[in-house]
Structure 1
């Protein structure tokens, strides 16, 4: 399996504090003990609905749409499913992994990433989003020990268990979208390795994988390939947003899909192709918010003029000052939403696969 645990500090999974109205400037705090000194929180039982942040059979944060957008939640009639893995929302030093009994953390996750990212898919698919014992933010900065790797492995074990439960009890052979952001994409990338890359039967169910906000290689998989256009299925897309004219070595050379054209070429796409960004306040749609251009594995964007699309700021990490990691979804919300619908339509229009 061609995936490695991150050891360099600039491979960062944002806590997305700005999504809850807090500052996007965060101090990264290291847990005070070794990973093995903590007793992990109880593993989730995915037969219990409260271990899911989103299920299509109940009312939750994945069902809403941006204020005044005129968009609709179509999960009741959707023919596909999305398995969405949320990014880091746990950044404390109490332990290396989150506890699913932490109701305050669960509310934060629901009001931030589920509400402002997972909802992008509710026009195209039924939304399944597991809670999991996510690794704390410091895990991505841990260079000198295996603690971060062990924390991420534990987090992935939950994501894997959730996906297995989903396949056994919810999917029923329906088309599948895999999606994530940041730490969620780290786990989703691994999930594709383990479940789709070597399983032709399951791979036939894959509509697309949205691997956003993390470095994913263009040759990441043996059989899966990056999408070449807006309608291709059984493939994957991804991007990392950075201010035009700047480099970002941790993500350089990875996959960069232009979400305004859904191609991999380096032609600049003008802002008029941007159907609409949705700021982190989730209170409006901003048309033509930014243009975009692929550059060396990054997605170059101009600085958004409307407020609500913050940079990713971490003390002691000046290299991040040009990153719009926190706004990877927000800047292209309507393009992404429409593309998920388009790919599901393209998938269902194909002849029955043998």
Structure 2
């Protein structure tokens, strides 16, 4: 695990050229072992549930932020990003306790908690596709692994609707692989379903490209309190691009608008580094450009770039820090949208 995390998280260094190649599973999808499908009646198959203690309950140390899930007026269904990098098989097993701990201590803690001030956090474990799946251009194994992962997410969401939701307002949120699945989830459950769409506060589709015309009905959010819409962004160093994500939807997380005006760093309410041990005020500015979010690289430590050999454009990407750079703004905005949703619901 440490070797793969090193490949992904190290910043400012030349990586070994063998890094990406060792992530490819030895067998194609059809011949590789497939982990057992999860039963979402079992609490152990959820990374976060609101009525128990887990990594979604914490807040950054030294802040006045609080976990308010007990009395939260909405729910968030959070789909975590890729934390499985091994080549043993194309999809992760939910019985891998080491992987589960890593998921909980990294992305559940560092991303899902952005919503615990206003929503009860539901985050399923799922047979996530290994990282190489997203760089597999030679055969269909990668896409088959992604499809299998989505089948779990879809099953988990249906279980959530049937057993946990009880008609409450819903936020859909994800990052990276989680956003790939969240984007499909909105198609399957919300875009052409008026009844369920009325429960949608907003979707946070962060860390993967979402096309402006992705949906028949759902549209990008245009301001900070619009509901029934979605926000999306991918963060890169100022003046750079990442072609696979360019020209997608980009909503500025400092202003929650899609215009191209630069939002100064004074609007940044606080970033949270990868270590989750502090809050850095005014950590970066932000500007929408070519469907991406440009930021001047932060002086503060703990907001790594995403480096992979063979993908030189990624050296400009702050993909890993898409949530961390704007953590407190996301947290505040989720609360603002829930309040706006409730006012609309009450006819105010």
Which of the pair is proportionally richer in helix?
A: 2
- How far 1:318 moved relative to its partner? 1.0
| Structure 1 moving runs of 4+ over 2 Å | 15-18, 22-28
The answer to whether 1:150 aligns with 2:136 is no
1: CA distance between counterparts of 2:313 and 2:284? Answer: 22
Partner of 1:162: 156
**Aligned-partner SS, 1:109:** helix
The answer to whether 1:184 aligns with 2:178 is yes
Partner of 2:196: 202
TM-score w.r.t. length of structure 1? 0.93
Verify the 8 A CA contact 2:4 2:85 in the aligned structure 1: no
Q: Structure 1 residues 268, 297: CA separation in 2 closer, same or farther (over 3 Å shift)?
A: same
**Aligned-partner SS, 2:179:** helix
**Aligned-partner SS, 1:76:** helix
The answer to whether 1:222 aligns with 2:216 is yes
The answer to whether 1:115 aligns with 2:126 is no
The answer to whether 1:323 aligns with 2:302 is no
Q: Mark the runs of 5 or more structure 1 residues left unpaired by the alignment.
A: 1-14
Verify the 8 A CA contact 1:16 1:89 in the aligned structure 2: no
Q: Mark the runs of 5 or more structure 2 residues left unpaired by the alignment.
A: none
1: CA distance between counterparts of 2:298 and 2:4? Answer: 18
1:66 aligns with one of 36, 40, 60: 60
Partner of 2:339: 345
1: CA distance between counterparts of 2:160 and 2:213? Answer: 28
1: CA distance between counterparts of 2:346 and 2:195? Answer: 13
Per-residue Cα deviation, 1:272-309 (whole angstroms, up to 9, x for no partner): 00000011111111110000000010000001001111
- How far 1:218 moved relative to its partner? 1.3
1: CA distance between counterparts of 2:138 and 2:275? Answer: 38
1: CA distance between counterparts of 2:28 and 2:164? Answer: 37
Partner of 2:302: 308
Q: How many residues align?
A: 338
1: CA distance between counterparts of 2:5 and 2:105? Answer: 11
TM-score w.r.t. length of structure 2? 0.95
- How far 1:16 moved relative to its partner? 9.5
2: CA distance between counterparts of 1:270 and 1:297? Answer: 19
2: CA distance between counterparts of 1:100 and 1:45? Answer: 10
Partner of 1:88: 82
